[in-house]
Amino acid sequence: MGRKILFVTTDQQRYDALGCNGGTIARTPVVDRLAAEGVRYSRGHCQAVVCMPSRSTMLTGQYPRTHGVWMNGVPLPVDAPSVASWLRDRAGYRTALFGKPHFEPFLDAELVFTENQLGATGTFGPHRGFEHMETATHAAIGFTHYAMWMMRDHADDVAGFFPVIDRHRDVNGDTGGDTGAVQVRVNPVPRDRYHTDWLADRAIAWLDTLDPGDDWFCWLSFPDPHHPWDPPASERSRVNWRDLDLPPGYPIDVDERVAILDAKPAQWRGYYEGDVTNYEAPPRFVPAAMTPDQVREINALAHVENELIDEALGRVLQRVDERGWADDTDVIFTTDHGELQGDFGLLFKGPYHVDALMRVPFVWRPAPSAGIEPAVIDRPVGHIDLAPTFCRIAGVDEPDWIEGEALPADAASAAGRERVLTEWDSEFRGASVHLRTIARDGWVCTACEPGTRHDGTEGELYDLAEDPMQRVNRWGDPACRPLRDDLVADLYDHLPPAPAERRPVVADV
């Protein structure tokens, strides 16, 4: 028999959102305790900085170029491998996913995709190896199980959420909150009807259906703190935006901010000025027009959502304990990618391979019965390493389709970890951007492949020891040229082969 596995993901959460990673705003005692009792990875990276490719990597243990989901709107193939299927079929695990799967587009009015069909029909699987799936996204929209429940039982509360479907109408200063910040809304929904607590309730209800001797793999996938920022109004006072300093990554001086952006590849300054439509940002949103107070308010609301997630996870762990499983349950906590959240004067996500988006929370609390000592690992790891880790916990061989390796549990086993890779590809509103990044030896190096924004000569190179905020681009520094060339060669030596053709984009999200 293997050990039980609770896999917890958030959506678009920064590395520094957690107290255990140096965060000072949100109170996250539950995850902080897991980190203190287990293994915390200080250099965990996603393999893609957008939702669908990243989540598909978690499920398959493969790079985006292998599983084929190269940007949002590209569904994971129906025959793609799934670690949930592997654990179920090889080791008899009970399997469930609660929250945001996003292996398939969720803007799906014709109900083409199974994830949406399940919610619309009130069924729960099986799907992609999960015998039970209850879905939710950032608001009561679409065909998720949460949306259908809200529209059926609490229809009056639906209008309180930010209208995600109408997000493209946003520009600076035309939305809610105290400052007119983009995608902010004062949401009167009662806390117990908000998706964070609803998901904890649903996961607990499923755990209560299991026999004491069952092995199980439960993926608890919270949709927050992804925009829009509209937590229950009753919780907004947890963090007063007026009391916050501006985030360290936000250059207060405008001239300094512009100079930093100008030293980076062209997509950076273009987005800041509104000349380039950034991926998943409202088309008319101009970061240069964003005020410092708007940055503060968005940060405050994101941290309110971080606190709610931590408390909801605590309730699930309490039920695991009450069921007698605490000594035999591994907990792994991460997010799919980060959020700019004011860094460089920007918001949201896109083709910007810096720590704000690539470096993610990464905590593994092995079951106490495993006898693994607490540790902090500073060697690079990635989402690609999750699936083989689940296999090791379950005591089953790894399938040959996995491209990662099991997470190291101590400094000795981490010693051979040298690099972690991240990809970005997008074809969006006539602009094509293709980035390839390696983090190795305290440096982050990004090659910009040819597209509409780059001719293949541009890139970024940052010394994390001397420049942890990644403000000084060393790509063109002659003194760094040998190192740059070595990192780029190492990057392409370790990426899997690119597909002959990319799979088609079939939806916006």
Closest among 36, 56, 37 to 46, alpha carbons compared: 56
Residue 291 pLDDT > 80, yes or no?
yes
Phi and psi at residue 447, to the nearest 5°: -100, 130
For the segment 77-95, the average pLDDT, to the nearest whole number, is 98
Give, for 87, the enclosing helix (H) or strand (E). helix 83-91
Beta carbons of 268 and 463 less than 8 angstroms apart: no
Give the up-direction half-sphere exposure of residue 87: CA atoms within 13 A in the CB hemisphere: 33
Mean pLDDT of 424-438: 91
Measured CA to CA in angstroms, residue 378 lies from 39, 58, 355, 415, 417 at distances of 10, 21, 14, 10, 10
Tens-place pLDDT, residues 29-79: 999 999 999 999 999 999 999 999 999 999 999 999 999 999 999 999 999
The torsion of the CA quartet 489, 490, 495, 500, rounded to 10 degrees, works out to 10
Residues near 249 by beta carbon (within 8 Å), at least 6 away in sequence:
341, 342, 343, 344, 356, 469
Q: How confident is the model at residue 165 (pLDDT cuts 50, 70, 90)?
A: low
The percentage of residues in the chain with a pLDDT greater than 70, rounded to a whole number, is 97
Q: Which of 38-52, 93-107, 275-289 has the lowest mean pLDDT?
A: 275-289
- Note the Cα 407 to chain centre separation in Å: 18
Are 454 and 448 spatial neighbours (Cβ–Cβ below 8 Å)?
yes
pLDDT of residue 175: 60
* Closest C-alpha among 365, 59, 13 to residue 68: 59
CA distance 105 to 126: 18
pLDDT above 50 for 108: yes
Q: Tell me the domains of the chain and their CATH numbers.
A: 4-251+289-415 (3.40.720.10)
Do 260 and 471 contact (CB within 8 A), yes or no? yes
Is the pLDDT assigned to residue 478 strictly greater than 80? yes
What average pLDDT is seen over the chain? 95
Whether the pLDDT of residue 129 is over 90: the answer is yes
- For the chain, the straight-line distance linking the first and the last C-alpha, in angstroms and rounded, comes to 39
Examine the pLDDT at 170 and tell me if it is beyond 70: no
pLDDT, residue 381, reads 98
Tell me the average pLDDT across 301-314.
Answer: 98
Exposure b/e, 264-276, CB count within 10 A at least 16 = b: bbbbbbbbbebeb
Strand order in the sheet with 4-11: 132-135, 94-99, 216-225, 4-11, 329-335, 362-365, 39-41, 375-377
Distance in angstroms (rounded) separating the CA atoms of residues 248 and 40: 23
As a whole number of angstroms, the distance between CA 265 and CA 458 comes to: 6
Nearest to 89 by CA among 124, 134, 148, 130: 130
CA distances from 231 to 205, 228, 237, 243 (A): 23, 9, 11, 19
User: At 318, is the secondary structure helix, strand, or coil?
Assistant: helix
Query: Which tens digit of pLDDT belongs to each residue from 316-358?
Result: 999 999 999 999 999 999 999 999 999 999 999 999 999 999 9
Joined together, the tokens standing for residue 32 give 């902080």
pLDDT of residue 284: 85
Q: Which two tokens stand for residue 122?
A: 């009130």
Q: For residue 2, what pLDDT is reported? A: 86
**Percent share of the chain, pLDDT over 90:** 92
Tokens 């541009």 locate to 458
In this predicted structure, the answer to whether residue 172 has a pLDDT above a threshold of 70 is no
Over 90: is that where the pLDDT of 82 sits?
yes
* 180 bridge partner residues: none
Amino acid identity at 218: C
Are β-strands 443-449 and 459-463 bridged in parallel, bridged antiparallel, or unpaired? Answer: antiparallel
Nearest to 436 by CA among 422, 450, 453: 422
For the chain, state the CA radius of gyration: 21
For residue 173, pLDDT beyond 50: no
What is the full DSSP assignment across 24-75?
-SS--HHHHHHHHHSEEETTEE-SBSSHHHHHHHHHHSS-HHHH---STT-P
Condensed to tens digits (0 to 9), the pLDDT of residues 220-234 reads: 999 999 999 999 999
